[in-house]
C-alpha cells in the first residue's frame, strides 16, 4: 500500500504512512527495525549422481522444519487460550504442508528432473504456487499464498542453516517494524516489551493479523518500503484502528493520540467496574458468566473479571507432547489447584478431548491406541470415544476428578457425545471408580458430581431430548458444532472463510438443544467463541441460553451487553431471526437490535 507522501519531507518532520489496520489499539513508542530479511537463495545445477543426496538433504530440512514447528506448538500452550487455539490450528496446517504436499512434491520433482539444488527448487516452487494464488484476485486466497511462502522460507532457512532473528529481547516500549512477521513470531512477542508492530507484507485475512487480534496487540500490515525508510529509535505512533503509522509526530499529534489512549484506558477502567456487579438483564434475568481455563496460571484473570465459575476446564494439554500418560496423582494435583483457586465457585472439568492422532506416539503405544493415522481424525476415535475405548486411561482421569471434587464443586463434562449409550457407559464408569475409591477410604464428595455432555455434533443436537433425559447439564460447543454442521474444517485454510456461526442450520441446532434442556430442566451453557463475542449475546439469550463461558478478557464486554438489554425484547428479536434463511440477513437483524440498545451498563 502506498503512503500519503508527495515529496521527501525534511528529516525529523512528521510523516504518515497508511496501511491496513488489522488489530485495533494505539501504541506510542519507538521503532525497532528488524533486518531479518529472507536469505539470498543460491541456485546451481547438481551432478546426476548427486540427486539422491540432494533429495536426502531436502528430506532432512523438512524434518528439521517440522521439529521447529512442533516446538512452537509447545511454546504456544503458554499463550492465552484463544491465541493458543488459533496458533495450534495454524501450526497444524503448516505441518501438513511439510508432509508430502504440493510444495514438497514439486521441489522434489525439480531436483530430480531439472537437477536444481534444493534451495532453488523450493524457491521456484514457492513462486509458482504463490503466483497461482495471486492470480485468483481474491484477498483470502492471496493470503493463503503467503502461508505457502512462509513455510517455504522456513524450509530454505533450514537448508541454509540460517536461523530467524530472535525477537525476545527487544527494548521495552518498542514498536516492531519488519518486512514480514510470521504468525508464530507474532504469538511469541512479549507484550510487556512490544507495544505493537507494522510490516510491509500481509493482509487482513492473514494468520499474522488473526494472531495479533487474538493477542490484543495493535498492528498494521501492508506498508511498502517501511524497513528502508524507518530507523531504529524513531519516535512513532501506531494507530491500529485507522491503519496509520506516524513517524516523528508533532507535539500536537502526540497530544491528540495521548488523549485517545487515555480514553481507551478509561474505557477499560470503566469495564473493570463491572467486576462485582451481577450479569442481570434490564428486566431482571440473571445470566451466569463463566470463564474457560486451561491452567492454574489463568486463575488470576478469572478473578480480575469477576467470573462466577469455570464453564470449561480443558484437560487435553496434560496428555500432549509427552511420552507417558499423566498418572492419577499428577492430574489430581492439577485439578485441586484450579478448584481451590476458584474459592468455592463451580468448575466444569471436560474429560480428555483429543483424538489418538494428537497423542505422542509413545503415549499412544502405552495406552494401546493404534499408531496408524486415522483417515479422518475429526470423525475418528476422539473425545469420549477415546476414553471409553481405553478404560484404564478414562478411569485414571475420573479418579483424579472425583478426588479433586472433595475440595470444591465440580461438574464432569463429556466431549464428542453422539449416542445415549455413551452417556450410560460414562456414568457407569464414574460410579465404578467412585465405589472403588470409597472402598479405599479416599476423601470424596458425598454425592457424585453432575455429569453433562458437550453438544457439538448435529446428531447430538437433534437428539437432545434423549440426551437430556440421561444428562445433568448441556454445554454447547459452537466451534465444533459449526464445523460439523457446515462441513467446514477451520484448519483447512481453503474453506475456513465459509465458517459461519450465524448460519440458520447452526442456530436451529442451538435452539433444539436449549429447548430440550428447558423441557428437562437441566442447565444449558455455551462455551464456544460466540459466547465471548457481545455481538452474539442478545441472540443467544433470546434463544434461551442462561450461561455463557468465555476467555477471561472477553467477559467484561459481554457482561456490559447483558446488562444493557431486555431479555423480553431479545427473545422477540430471536424469534424474528429464526424465521430467516440467510446468514447475512440474520447478521443485519442482530446488528440492528444492538444499535438500538440503550447504555445501561455500569
- Which residues are identified as catalytic? 207, 527
Distance CA 247, CA 440 (A): 69
509: CB partners within 8 A, 6+ apart: 455, 458, 461, 462, 481, 485
List the binding residues for phosphoenolpyruvate: 314, 350, 479-480, 490
Residues of the binding site: 314, 350, 456, 479-480, 490
Cell 522444519 locates to 65
The answer to whether 243 and 19 have CB atoms below 8 angstroms apart is yes
Task: Tell me the HSE value of 511 on the side-chain side, using a 13 A CA sphere.
Answer: 17
**Starting at the edge strand that comes first in sequence, how are the strands of the sheet with 15-18 ordered?**
15-18, 244-247, 235-239, 26-33, 174-178, 194-199, 219-221, 20-23
Q: Which residues are annotated as a binding site for Mg(2+)?
A: 456, 480
**Using CA of residue 407, residue 413, residue 415, residue 419, what is the dihedral sign?**
positive
Nearest CA among 126, 99, 136 for reference residue 497: 136
User: Which pairs with CB-CB distance under 8 Å and at least 24 residues apart come from 142-148?
Assistant: 142/203, 142/205, 143/202, 143/203, 143/205, 143/206, 143/207, 144/493, 144/494, 146/201, 146/202, 146/203, 146/206, 147/93, 147/94, 147/97, 147/206, 147/207, 147/493, 148/97, 148/103
Cα distance between residue 557 and residue 86, in whole Å: 21
Measured between alpha carbons, how far is residue 228 from residues 3, 223, 600 in Å? 13, 11, 49
Name the nearest CA neighbour of 513 among 488, 486, 549, 477.
477
| Distance in angstroms (rounded) separating the CA atoms of residues 278 and 287 | 8
Amino acid at each position: 500500500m502506498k503512503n500519503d507522501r508527495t515529496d521527501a519531507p525534511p528529516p525529523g518532520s512528521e510523516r504518515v504512512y497508511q496501511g491496513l489496520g488489522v488489530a485495533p489499539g494505539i501504541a506510542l513508542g519507538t521503532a525497532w527495525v528488524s533486518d531479518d530479511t529472507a536469505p539470498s537463495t543460491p541456485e546451481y545445477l547438481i551432478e546426476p549422481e548427486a540427486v539422491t543426496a540432494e533429495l536426502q538433504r531436502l528430506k532432512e530440512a523438512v524434518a528439521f522444519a517440522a521439529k521447529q514447528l512442533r516446538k512452537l506448538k509447545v511454546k504456544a500452550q503458554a499463550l492465552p487460550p484463544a491465541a493458543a487455539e488459533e496458533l495450534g490450528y495454524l501450526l497444524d496446517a503448516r505441518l501438513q504442508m511439510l508432509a508430502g504436499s504440493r510444495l514438497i512434491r514439486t521441489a522434489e520433482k525439480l531436483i530430480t528432473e531439472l537437477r536444481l539444488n534444493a534451495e532453488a527448487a523450493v524457491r521456484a516452487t514457492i513462486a509458482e504456487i504463490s503466483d497461482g494464488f495471486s492470480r485468483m484476485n481474491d484477498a483470502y486466497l492471496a493470503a493463503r499464498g503467503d502461508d505457502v511462502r512462509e513455510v517455504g522460507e522456513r524450509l530454505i532457512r533450514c537448508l541454509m542453516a540460517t536461523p530467524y532473528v530472535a525477537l525476545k529481547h527487544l527494548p521495552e516500549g518498542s514498536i516492531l517494524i519488519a518486512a514480514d512477521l510470521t504468525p508464530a513470531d507474532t504469538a511469541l512477542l512479549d507484550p510487556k516489551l512490544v507495544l505493537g508492530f507494522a510490516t510491509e507484507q500481509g493482509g487482513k485475512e492473514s494468520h499474522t493479523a488473526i494472531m495479533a487480534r487474538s493477542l490484543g496487540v495493535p498492528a498494521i500490515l501492508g506498508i511498502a518500503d517501511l524497513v528502508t525508510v524507518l530507523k531504529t529509535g524513531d519516535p512513532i505512533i501506531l494507530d491500529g484502528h485507522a491503519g496509520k503509522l506516524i513517524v516523528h509526530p508533532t507535539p500536537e499529534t502526540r497530544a491528540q493520540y495521548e488523549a485517545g489512549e487515555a480514553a481507551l484506558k478509561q474505557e477499560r477502567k470503566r469495564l473493570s467496574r463491572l467486576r462485582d456487579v451481577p450479569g442481570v438483564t434490564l428486566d431482571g434475568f440473571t445470566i451466569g458468566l463463566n470463564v474457560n481455563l486451561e491452567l492454574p496460571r489463568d486463575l488470576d484473570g478469572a478473578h480480575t473479571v469477576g467470573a462466577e465459575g469455570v464453564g470449561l476446564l480443558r484437560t487435553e494439554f496434560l496428555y500432549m507432547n509427552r511420552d507417558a500418560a499423566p498418572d492419577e496423582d499428577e492430574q489430581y494435583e492439577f485439578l485441586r489447584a484450579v478448584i481451590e483457586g476458584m474459592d468455592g465457585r463451580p468448575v466444569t472439568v471436560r474429560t480428555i478431548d483429543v483424538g489418538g492422532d494428537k497423542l505422542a506416539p509413545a503415549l499412544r503405544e502405552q495406552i494401546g491406541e493404534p499408531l496408524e493415522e486415522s483417515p479422518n481424525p475429526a470423525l475418528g476415535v476422539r473425545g469420549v470415544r477415546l476414553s471409553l475405548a481405553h478404560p484404564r486411561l478414562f478411569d485414571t482421569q475420573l479418579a483424579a476428578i472425583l478426588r479433586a471434587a472433595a475440595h470444591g464443586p465440580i461438574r464432569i463434562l463429556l466431549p464428542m457425545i453422539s449416542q445415549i449409550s455413551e452417556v450410560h457407559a460414562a456414568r457407569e464408569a464414574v460410579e465404578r471408580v467412585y465405589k472403588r475409591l470409597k472402598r479405599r477410604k479416599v476423601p470424596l464428595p458425598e454425592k457424585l458430581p453432575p455429569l453433562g455432555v458437550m453438544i457439538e455434533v448435529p446428531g447430538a443436537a437433534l437428539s437432545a431430548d434423549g440426551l437430556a433425559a440421561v444428562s445433568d447439564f448441556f454445554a454447547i460447543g459452537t466451534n465444533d458444532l459449526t464445523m460439523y454442521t457446515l462441513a467446514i474444517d477451520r484448519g483447512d485454510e481453503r474453506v475456513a472463510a465459509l465458517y459461519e456461526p450465524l448460519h440458520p442450520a447452526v442456530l436451529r441446532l442451538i435452539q433444539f438443544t436449549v429447548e430440550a434442556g428447558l423441557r428437562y430442566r437441566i442447565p444449558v451453557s455455551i462455551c464456544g467463541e460466540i459466547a465471548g463475542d457481545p455481538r452474539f449475546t442478545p441472540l443467544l439469550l433470546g434463544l434461551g441460553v442462561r450461561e455463557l463461558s468465555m476467555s477471561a478478557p472477553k467477559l467484561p464486554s459481554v457482561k456490559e451487553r447483558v446488562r444493557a438489554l431486555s431479555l423480553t425484547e431479545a427473545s422477540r428479536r430471536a424469534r424474528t431471526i429464526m424465521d430467516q434463511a440467510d446468514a447475512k440477513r440474520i447478521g443485519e437483524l442482530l446488528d440492528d437490535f444492538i444499535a438500538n440498545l440503550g447504555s445501561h451498563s455500569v
